[in-house]
Amino acid sequence: MAKVVVTFRIMPKDPSIDLSGLESGIKKEIVDFCSSEEFKTNIEPIAFGLKALKMIFVMDESKGSTEELENRISRINGIESVEVVDVRRAIG
């Protein structure tokens, strides 16, 4: 099976929540689900001081849907929503 590159946009419940603090919990969930430690993280301004955490990671295509992972991440305290922004097959 191929590898896929997945991009999540994770929205906090409140603009005052420290996204860097949430990052370690999110990475733990991704590692538990995908067994992958390949990440790229960006903080993306949205509007009115609200920022989103953009997580890009690699997972095996055989895992199928990311719905279970999205649900696990959304249960982390301080997270409002998890949205799949992009999924692409890795080349190589």
The sign of the dihedral angle between the CA atoms of 58, 59, 65, 71 is negative
Model confidence at 59, pLDDT cuts 50, 70, 90, reads: very high
Residue at token pair 């849907």: 65
Determine the Cα–Cα distance for residues 9 and 40; give it in Å rounded to an integer. 12
Q: What is the CATH number of domain 3-89?
A: 3.30.70.60
pLDDT digits (tens, 9 = 90+) for 70-83: 999 999 999 999 99
In the chain, what is the straight-line distance between the N-terminal and C-terminal CA atoms, in Å?
Answer: 12
Instruction: Write the single-letter amino acid at 91.
Output: I
Domains of the chain, by residue range, sit at 3-89
- Three-point CA angle 60, 24, 48, nearest 5°: 105
Question: Taking the model in full, what pTM does it have?
Answer: 0.89
Would you state the structure tokens that stand for residue 42, as one six-digit string? 């960006």
Predicted local distance difference test score (pLDDT) of residue 38 = 85
Model confidence at 12, pLDDT cuts 50, 70, 90, reads: very high
